[in-house]
Amino acid sequence: MPFAAEMEERMKRKSIMKGMSLGLAAIMTAGLLAGCGSKETSGGQDTPVQEEQTQEEQSQPASGTEAASGTDKNDPAATAASNGITLPELPDGVLKLEVSIADYQQSSEGTMIQEEWQKRMEAYLGCKLDITWTRTPAVDYADNELVVLQSGQVQDAASVTKGAAVNEYGEDGTLLNLADYMDYMRYYPDYMAETAGGEDYAKNEDGSMYYFMDGFYNPDDIQGAQSFTAFAYRFDLLRDNGWEPPTTLDEFTQLCADMQAKIDDGSLDLDYVIINNTKDYSLYRGFVGIFHTWDCLYYNGEEWVFGPLEDNFREMLKYLNGLYEAGYIDPEFATADFNQGQTKATTNVGAVCPTLWAGSVASWNSAKVDENMEWGLAFLPKNDTYGTPWKWGSRQPAKSLNANMGIYISADTEYPEYVVSMIDYQYSDQMVELMNWGVDGVTYTTQGNDKVYIDEILNDKTPATKSAEYGLMASSVCRTGIPFNPIDFNAMLDLASLPEPWWSADKGYYEGKYWVESSVNGGEDSVAPYDRPPVVYLSAEEQSSKAQLGYSGTCETRVKELALQFITGEKDINDDSVWESYIKDVKSQTDDDFDGILEMLNEKTVK
C-alpha cells in the first residue's frame, strides 16, 4: 500500500479525540516555547517516504563506517556517517534504549509521525531502534523528575523541565557531559550558535553541558510576543464615537478623558474606562514597557537593575495614580480574578484593558452578550520621552534555545555516541519539519514557498487537537519523538494562534495574529533589552540570591503590595520621603545585601 494511502487508512481506523479547546492548546503552547534560528529551511522532505527498501537501496552506511566526504548535512538523505560521524558497532545492529518522556494532552504513541520518526531515526543512525518508552502525564512528570534524578536511577534519555537544576546531577556523575561528545553533533550546534549568548548560553562556566535545551525555529524572524505588547479597546465604541486607538500616551490620556465625559453624561454605557484582565497581573505590567522599565530584576542594555526602584517606574506610578484619581480605572482592578475579568470585559464594565495576552480578545468576542460589541488590539501607545515602547517576550529570530526544558542522557548509557547523535538529529531541519509539519501531500501541501496544513486539519473545530491525532507537535498538544525538541513558529501560528481584530495607523482596522502583529507594529526598536540579556554564570547559592529579585521573589512580591498603595493614593507617590521609605522597604526584603546582589550579577555577566 502506498505511504499516503496507508496513513489515510490508519487515520480512519484511529479513534478521534474531541472536546479539547484551541484556547487551551494555545495556553499550553505558551508555557512551552522559546526560540530563534537560520533564515532558510533547507533539506525539506518533498515526497512521501518509501515504506521498505532492500539493503542495496538503503543509502545510509552501516554503523561503524566512515563518512563520505563533502556531504551536505542538510541533505534529506544525510546520515550520521555521511555527516562525518563514526559510530561504534552494535550487537546485531540494534540499539536498545529506555526513554522516559512527558506526555501532553494527546500521546504521540502509535501516531503516524511517531512511527515515521523512528524510521527516519533508524535510517540516520544506520541501525534498528528498540526503545522502551516510559510515558507519564506532563504534570505528574514535572512533579517527580527531581525525585528520579536524586535516586540516581535514570533511564538512557529523558525529558526535563527543571532546566539548570539538572547540573548538579551532572556534576555528581549521574548525567552525561554532552560537551565531551560534541563530535557526535551536527545540528544542535547551530541552535547553540544562533541563540542570544551563543555557546555560553548552552554551556556552564566550566564548559560542561548536561542537557540538550529545548529548541525553537523561527524561519521568518518574527520577533513578536504573546502578551503585554498591546492594549485592548472596544473597537465598536471607538468607531461609533469617531475615535481611533491612541498611538501616543498623550492621546491615550485624552481618549480616557473623552470616554469618561460620555460616561458621565450618560451617552456611553460603561461603568469605567479601564479594566484589568485579572488580579494575577498587576495593572502596571501593561505600562512598564511604555516607560522603558520593568516590574522586577532585568537587564537594561548596560547592567542589571531592579525596575521598581527606577525613576522611570516611579514616573509610571504617578501616571497611573493620575488615571485612578480621575476615576478612569475600575476600583476592582487588583481584586477581580480571571473569571470576573472575563465577565467585566463582556458586560460593558470597561472599554480599555492594558493587561492581556494573545487570545484574550478572541475569547471576549466569542463570549460577548451584545452582538455589536467588538474588542480589538492596538500596539502600546508611545511615550515621547522614551520612544518606542518595549514589549516583553519578543521571540528570537532564526534558531534558538530555551534553558527551561530539554533532554538529558544517563552517564551509564551503554552507547552514548548513538544517543547523542539521535537527539542531535531531532534538531535537523528535516526532523523539525517532520515533527511540526509532517509529510508533504499527507499532512500539508506546499504552495509556492509556503507550507499549508491539509483541510482536514485546518477546517477542524480544533485544528490543534486534530493535528495531534497525526502526532504533529507544533501546538504542543502532542510532543513527538523525545521532548523537548524544536517547535516551528510558523507551524505553531497556523495551529494554535487565533486571528483577532487589530488596528494600526498604517492599516486601519484589520484581522491579524497577536505574535505577528506585535512584531510588525512594534518593529525592531520594541525588542526589550531584557529579552536579550547577556549570560551570567552563577552558583546555586548565587542563583538563590538572584531569585529574591525576580518574579515571585520577596522583593517583587512586596512591590506589588506597595505599588498598589501608590496607584490608589493610599501612599503619596509625589512625596520624596515616602518614595525613599518605599525603596528601603523593598531592599529590606532580601536575606542578602540587596545592592550586593546587583553588584554580583554585573560582575558575573559575560561581556
Q: pLDDT category, 8, cuts 50, 70, 90?
A: very low
Q: pLDDT category, 368, cuts 50, 70, 90?
A: confident
Where along the chain do its domains lie?
3-55+87-221+401-491, 230-392+500-535
Span 417-443, average pLDDT: 97
Categorise residue 569: left if φ over 0, alpha if ψ from -120 to 50, beta otherwise: left
Contact 515, 358 (CB under 8 A): yes
Span 400-416, average pLDDT: 96
Query: So what's the pLDDT on residue 71?
Result: 58
**CB neighbours of residue 418 within 10 Å:** 24
Query: Cell 460589541, residue?
Result: 373
Res. 580: pLDDT tops 80:
yes
Nearest to 16 by CA among 466, 378, 583: 466
Dihedral Cα 585, 587, 591, 593, nearest 10 deg: -140
pLDDT tens for each residue of 196-251: 999 999 999 999 999 999 999 999 999 999 899 999 999 999 999 999 999 999 99
Span 164-170, average pLDDT: 91
Res. 20: pLDDT tops 70:
no
Q: pLDDT category, 76, cuts 50, 70, 90?
A: confident
Q: Which fold has domain 3-55+87-221+401-491?
A: D-Maltodextrin-Binding Protein; domain 2 (3.40.190)
DSSP letter string, 234-293: EHHHHHHTT----SBHHHHHHHHHHHHHHHHTTSS--S-SB--S-TTS-GGGGTGGGGT-
Domains 3-55+87-221+401-491 and 230-392+500-535 alike in fold: yes
Query: So what's the pLDDT on residue 6?
Result: 42
pLDDT tens for each residue of 450-475: 999 999 999 999 999 999 999 999 99
Query: So what's the pLDDT on residue 377?
Result: 98
Contact 478, 111 (CB under 8 A): yes
Q: Which fold has domain 230-392+500-535?
A: D-Maltodextrin-Binding Protein; domain 2 (3.40.190)
Query: So what's the pLDDT on residue 379?
Result: 98
Query: So what's the pLDDT on residue 464?
Result: 93
